[in-house]
Amino acid sequence: MDAREDSHAGSWYSDDKSTLSYQLDHWLQEVPDEIEGIGQLPVPGARMIIAPHAGYAYSGRCAAFAYKALDLSQAKRIFVVGPSHHHYFTTLALPEFTSYHTPLSDDPLPLDTEFIAKLRSTKAVSRNGLELQFTTMSRSVDEAEHSIELHLPYIHRLLQRQRPNQPTSQYPPLVPILVGAVTESTEKAFGTLLAPYIDDPENAFVISSDFCHWGQRFRYTYYSPQAPNPGPSIPVSAPGLPQPGIDGDSVTDQMEMVSTGRSLKSRERIRSREPPIHESISAVDIVTMAAIATGEYARFSTILKNTGNTVCGRHPIGVIMAGIEDIRKNEGEKGRFRFIRYDRSSNVIEVDDSSVSYVSAFTVL
């Protein structure tokens, strides 16, 4: 079996089976069994989540909220859709490997090789009639990328807990998809291609994304002086985060408010009457969540253009939102994301500081 190694184990997360199992179980246990306004976890029908992919010391607790909400009871296939951080390409990529290792068992997680071959031979069609195809990520590109791998231990552990008598080889197989630096047209074309699979109740989806990467090392120092001050105390859980049914006019007003900012220069000082930088980061992130919660691809695209928010999974989210829009039509709140956790690596005070934001969300399809 041609198995991908767990190349980030031992650095981004523990490579010891017992330690890793304990950490994942502990973080899942820390998440309440019931969340106000959401109900009992896992949420029936919540077969799609957005969750972060940083080192577990930073984002493991936040990711636990999404994974505790995830309903895998009907899953026969699990898509894991993540952004490419190191390799530049302008389409979507599928793996060469046939399975993926994690530290949680000697046997690797299976990939749905037959279905992946089917996708590889399928073409997406953009609105101008251009035919687009999946490419293949090489083994080295696959093992260098962390956005998909960081979700595998959580997926593996959930399946171990929910299917204790089932061997790893018989778990629902994975369909990893790496999304490159794609255009809106490409996002929509592949969203349409994936729409039937999004609509299939036997498919689960994990969308891999961190949120704002703020600081000079990320070449992003956007600051909104109109941010609420004080803002929310981090971390924040539902119901204090954007939910479906949010008023569209209110979202528009919030988007306009945070879109009047500027990029801070090195050593620039914030005036005492202005909100701290970390409050601006919260405001931009929360409005970005609100745009996603509307279910409107165009709003998500607009807030990213207006603020430049460095959501590294913007393209995976865009592809999936476009696919959901394609199938949802007028079905109310179906496919609209509910945000249940927001956290950050640190609170930025000075321009020389930096932080990365993390969110957990789910949607019922």
Looking from the CA of 252 toward its CB, the CA atoms found within 13 Å total 4
For residue 259, give the amino acid letter.
S
How many other C-beta atoms are found inside a 10 Å radius of the C-beta of residue 197?
Answer: 16
Contacts 24+ apart (CB under 8 A), 264-270: 264/221, 264/222, 264/223, 264/351, 265/221, 265/351, 266/216, 266/351, 266/352, 267/351, 267/352, 268/351, 270/223
Both tokens of 358, joined, read 């993390």
Task: From 203, 162, 246, select the one nearest 45 (Cα to Cα).
Answer: 203
Q: Which pLDDT score is estimated for 330? A: 53
For residue 37, give the amino acid letter.
G
Q: Report how far residue 51's alpha carbon sits from residue 212's, in angstroms, rounded to the nearest whole number.
A: 13
CATH code for the part of the protein at 3-208: 3.40.830.10
CB 24 within 8 A of CB 59: no
E-strand stretches of 28-105: 34-35, 39-40, 48-51, 77-83, 92-95, 99-100
> Could you tell me how far CA 101 lies from the centroid of its own chain?
21
Q: Which pLDDT score is estimated for 329? A: 66
CB 107 within 8 A of CB 168: yes
CB 319 within 8 A of CB 300: no
**φ, ψ (nearest 5 deg) of residue 259:** -90, 10
Q: Which pLDDT score is estimated for 332? A: 61
Q: Which pLDDT score is estimated for 328? A: 80
Q: Give me the residues of the chain with pLDDT under 50, please.
A: none
Q: Report how far residue 313's alpha carbon sits from residue 53's, in angstroms, rounded to the nearest whole number.
A: 10
What DSSP designation does 98 have?
S
Q: In the sheet that 3-4 helps form, which strands lie side by side, from edge to edge?
A: 3-4, 99-100, 109-110
Tell me the pTM: 0.96
Please list, residue by residue across 239-260, b when 16 or more beta carbons sit within 10 angstroms of its beta carbon and e when fewer do: ebbbbbebeeeebeebbeebbe
Torsion sign over Cα 341, 62, 323, 259: positive
Q: Report how far residue 185's alpha carbon sits from residue 187's, in angstroms, rounded to the nearest whole number.
A: 5
